[in-house]
Structure 1
Amino acid sequence: MSPAPITPDAAASASPPALLPPLPNAMKSPTPQNFDDIFHKKFMDIIQHFRENPHTGPLTQKDRKEFIDRAYYQTDDVYFGRRPLTDHEIKMRALTKVFYKVLAEEPWSDEWIRPHDVERKLSRFEMHKDSAALAAQHGIHTPREAIAAARSAVITPAQIALAQADPKLRTPRGPWDDIEIIYIPGTVSSHATNAIDRNSTYPISVSSVAWILQTHICRDMTRPFAMANKFVTCADTEELSKLRKFACNICDYAPHLLDNDNISLLIVLLILTRSEICKRFENNGIRIEGSTISHRRAECMKQKLGWKNADDRKPFDNVAQEFQTRVKNACFPAPRAHRNPPRKQARKSSTSATPATPPIGYYASPQIRHPENIPYPVNSGINIPAPKFPMNFHYPGPHLLEPAMPRDDNVNGNTTIKVPPVVALAEQTNDIGSSGTEPMDLS
């Protein structure tokens, strides 16, 4: 039996299904709005489902990493994936992915320290030749064992505070300050690795490496989204200085965290520039080119985060550039420019080139007296010139100033001016000795 045909009129007259009434607010489950809260809820759901499955074994480190990645991608899809994003949210999304990868991989653990017999072209630690005998006395033969032993003996900040309060509670540091290792960077071949001069590389004590790993800024991190927001918006000078010190300590004492398979490389590249990293390596006797750092960075982003092209890496690069500028301004502020620089004091001379200026200030008005026996006023002040007195003296005419020349009037009426004769200054004589041909007789 076939169903009755549906006519257009019947389809048009069909009433819509009745909608269920909305649940009251008291019956709705609270939906977290923060990224970290959403992640925590999804992560705990995954853990609970894992524990309820009777076929699963104990939770391993590999399972934990997989569950964090799964919960992150679910949270990212809910929080960022269903709406258009602003520039700030794009930056936050990129950095949140980085810090959740740090949370999953725990780069401060000992498993990221490569063994001493790893492939020759990979970077690794080696025992310093002067520390091999001391390490052997304590049953240590590899750098990885030495760092692990030093981490177990690291003095915590709480113990440091107790030691400062009571010197009797001071814990001995052991031999870990004296056992030293050196970092050998990765090269293109085993021949190039063997050619590295071990004596020029600055040795590092295993206690220093252990301290940097124990005080990693992400080791106690529980809210990666909040950590990402800190890097995007932080402007506090003290906090920026601490972050720069952390990055510099990694370059100096834990350089293995800057390998291409360690996510901490991206954390350091958020704080320091590529040239700053290469310079610190060079100061420690480790030669690494800037292109090597760029290659490690690109490889780490590709393998860890799936960023394969420049567009994928652009949000991270923008945050790094802005944050490095803030760190530079906080740690190395530029000198302030003076708008009105101090004028140079004029050189004083014993003889003044300009006339003296009159004194400036308040002075009493001049006093003018009118004595009875003087018909004109007399100035008694010092700053008003005296009145001009009438000056009556005889000025001779121009005819009196011409010199008179002697004249002689002739009978014919002609006037002759007499000129005095020229007097000879010396007359010629014929005396002996008056010429060069007739010398003087001196006998």
Structure 2
Amino acid sequence: MSPAPITQDAAASPSPPNPTPPPLKTPVPPIDFDDIFHAKFMAIIQEFKDNPTSGQLTQKDRKTFIDNSYYETDRIFFGDRHLSDQDIKLRALTKVFYKVLAEEPWSEEWIRPHDVERKLSRFEMHKDSVELAAQHQLYTPREAIAAARRQAVRSKQAPQDRNNLRGPFDDIEIIYIPGTVSSTATSRIDRGTIYPVSVSSVAHILMTHICRDMTRPYAMAQKFVGCTDTEELMKMRQFACDVCDFAPHLLDNDNISLLVILLILTRSEICRRFENNGIRIEGSTISHRRAECMKQKMGWRTADERKPFDNVATELQTRVKNACFPAPRPTRSNARKPSRKSSTSATPSTPPIGFFSGPVGHMSRNPSVSYRITGPNGNANSSINIPAPPSRAFSSMSFKKPSNPDPRKSKGGPGSSAAEPMDLS
């Protein structure tokens, strides 16, 4: 049977259906804390601009918008899920850095006026700089610091080949007067023992604040919680030390920068740097400022609420200390240790006996030796002391010749001469 012929006009196989285009992907909502915050903050700003009754955006309005956006983002990001220890730490530090973003502690508004209540800490003009500052119409520390900041901005924009762009602000100096329990105690502080700082130095610290260019506070919190890079840790400590030396007003109880510095330096380190600059502040004062700042700024009133912050501070301070002051490595020597030699002559392991032993009882500190004797009933009679045998002087000991001479040295007997041979039978 032959196969059927193949015709050319056979029906073609049906073509596969055209693939349907993939559905358009819906935008995924941002999952990063900073992204959620930014979206909410910009929405509030846009709503403010669209409102015809709104006036000019003020610093107070900006702070309110940041706080509202933060609390909404915190509820979305942390509110409805179980938090690990790491999340709890990040949540606490994120709140700190968003408060820094809202309050901008590097602005001149946080420099207290010179005529503030006497018991509060403040800056004062150094007595040797009053005349120079007056020549430039600067009469208060706040005015001098603000002028130094403006001059620093102008010097960056000026040509680099010009000299003396810093103006007189390196020579205008101020001193920091710490707050005390009373105005009388503040008045008694010896101003001559406090190390003065130039207003240009204070302005530089404010312009290079570690959070000055921060735009993502949650990312900053992650950096502080998990940073292990030695260079970054050293930069953190350098900033904290510069604040203590040149901008101590950032450590007042109403300045949120106090908590940032306490993440890096311990209370004793802060007090030590203050003391080196002639500023006497007790450790209890720093603790009081810290508690007051946490209560007023962060709303942390109990130890449990402050615990995540304290845990991060302890861990970060340890890493900073290890990075800046590493422990010296022990040196290992391949040379063999010299054999230990005794300073006294070698002594035998067993006491000498026989001829070389001393008189009996010579080594005994007690002339009588107690022996433990048990009676028939098994009870010990410890009241019986048997005296040791009397010791004899070494010189009185007599030595007798042996009664039996050595048979090998006897002169008589068979074999002792050729005349009397030995009987070998």
Q: Same fold (TM over 0.5)?
A: yes
Corresponding residue of 2:271: 278
Corresponding residue of 2:130: 132
| Alignment pair present for 1:330 and 2:323 | yes
Distance (whole Å) between structure 1 residues aligned to residue 50 and residue 24 of structure 2:
29
Corresponding residue of 2:292: 299
Percent identical among aligned pairs is: 72
CA contact (8 A) 2:78 2:91 kept: yes
Distance (whole Å) between structure 2 residues aligned to residue 106 and residue 25 of structure 1:
46
Deviates more, 1:226-235 or 1:50-59: 50-59
Distance (whole Å) between structure 2 residues aligned to residue 156 and residue 239 of structure 1:
29
Aligned positions of 1:189-338 closer than 5 A: 189-338=182-331
Compute the displacement of 1:302 (Å): 0.5
Distance (whole Å) between structure 2 residues aligned to residue 317 and residue 106 of structure 1:
23
**Per the alignment, in what secondary structure is the counterpart of residue 219 of structure 1?**
coil
Corresponding residue of 2:113: 115
Compute the displacement of 1:330 (Å): 0.2
CA contact (8 A) 1:281 1:287 kept: yes
| Alignment pair present for 1:174 and 2:173 | no
| Alignment pair present for 1:60 and 2:58 | yes
Q: Quote the RMSD (CA, aligned, Å).
A: 2.4
Equivalent residues, number:
325
The change in CA–CA distance for 1:64 and 1:341 in structure 2 (over 3 A counts) is: farther
- Structure 2 gaps of 5+ residues are 1-21, 347-407, 412-425
Compute the displacement of 1:347 (Å): 11
Q: Flag as ranges the 4+ runs of structure 1 deviating above 2 A.
A: 24-30, 155-160, 168-172, 337-348, 397-400
Distance (whole Å) between structure 2 residues aligned to residue 307 and residue 342 of structure 1:
60
| Alignment pair present for 1:85 and 2:78 | no
CA contact (8 A) 1:155 1:171 kept: no
Structure with higher Rg: it is: 1
CA contact (8 A) 2:155 2:166 kept: no
Deviations along 1:378-436, whole A, 9 cap, x unmatched?
Answer: xxxxxxxxxxxxxxxxxxx9799xxxxxxxxxxxxxxxxxxxxxxxxxxxxxxxxxxxx
Amino acid at match of 1:272: L
Corresponding residue of 2:392: none
Distance (whole Å) between structure 2 residues aligned to residue 333 and residue 134 of structure 1:
45
**Per the alignment, in what secondary structure is the counterpart of residue 286 of structure 2?**
helix
Amino acid at match of 2:194: T
Compute the displacement of 1:50 (Å): 1.1
The change in CA–CA distance for 1:144 and 1:82 in structure 2 (over 3 A counts) is: same
CA contact (8 A) 1:92 1:228 kept: yes
**Per the alignment, in what secondary structure is the counterpart of residue 154 of structure 1?**
helix
The change in CA–CA distance for 1:154 and 1:344 in structure 2 (over 3 A counts) is: farther
Amino acid at match of 2:114: H
Deviates more, 1:148-157 or 1:284-293: 148-157
Compute the displacement of 1:30 (Å): 3.0
Aligned positions of 1:139-150 closer than 5 A: 139-150=137-148
Deviations along 1:94-119, whole A, 9 cap, x unmatched?
Answer: 00000000000000000000000001
Deviations along 1:214-269, whole A, 9 cap, x unmatched?
Answer: 00010100000000000011001011001100000000000000000000000000
Amino acid at match of 1:46: I
Distance (whole Å) between structure 2 residues aligned to residue 85 and residue 119 of structure 1:
44
Distance (whole Å) between structure 2 residues aligned to residue 203 and residue 144 of structure 1:
15
Distance (whole Å) between structure 1 residues aligned to residue 39 and residue 306 of structure 2:
29
| Alignment pair present for 1:39 and 2:29 | no
Compute the displacement of 1:158 (Å): 6.1
Amino acid at match of 1:311: D
CA contact (8 A) 1:271 1:320 kept: yes
**Per the alignment, in what secondary structure is the counterpart of residue 183 of structure 1?**
strand
Compute the displacement of 1:159 (Å): 6.6
Distance (whole Å) between structure 2 residues aligned to residue 226 and residue 46 of structure 1:
22
CA contact (8 A) 2:169 2:198 kept: yes
Distance (whole Å) between structure 1 residues aligned to residue 173 and residue 332 of structure 2:
53
Distance (whole Å) between structure 2 residues aligned to residue 312 and residue 98 of structure 1:
13
Compute the displacement of 1:169 (Å): 3.7
Distance (whole Å) between structure 1 residues aligned to residue 216 and residue 231 of structure 2:
21
- Structure 1 gaps of 5+ residues are 1-23, 354-396, 401-443
Compute the displacement of 1:345 (Å): 5.7
Distance (whole Å) between structure 2 residues aligned to residue 313 and residue 285 of structure 1:
31
Compute the displacement of 1:174 (Å): 1.2
Compute the displacement of 1:29 (Å): 3.9
Distance (whole Å) between structure 1 residues aligned to residue 191 and residue 184 of structure 2:
14
Distance (whole Å) between structure 1 residues aligned to residue 36 and residue 154 of structure 2:
33
Distance (whole Å) between structure 1 residues aligned to residue 334 and residue 266 of structure 2:
35
Amino acid at match of 2:210: I
The change in CA–CA distance for 1:342 and 1:175 in structure 2 (over 3 A counts) is: farther
Amino acid at match of 1:48: Q
Distance (whole Å) between structure 1 residues aligned to residue 80 and residue 127 of structure 2:
58
Distance (whole Å) between structure 2 residues aligned to residue 96 and residue 58 of structure 1:
29
Distance (whole Å) between structure 2 residues aligned to residue 25 and residue 251 of structure 1:
59
Corresponding residue of 1:362: none
Corresponding residue of 2:372: none
Distance (whole Å) between structure 2 residues aligned to residue 153 and residue 398 of structure 1:
122
Amino acid at match of 2:293: C
Deviations along 1:161-186, whole A, 9 cap, x unmatched?
Answer: x74xxxx2445221111100000011
**Per the alignment, in what secondary structure is the counterpart of residue 152 of structure 2?**
coil
| TM-score, scaled to structure 2 | 0.73
Amino acid at match of 2:211: C
**Per the alignment, in what secondary structure is the counterpart of residue 181 of structure 1?**
strand
- Given candidates 95, 98, 123, the residue that maps to 1:97 is 95
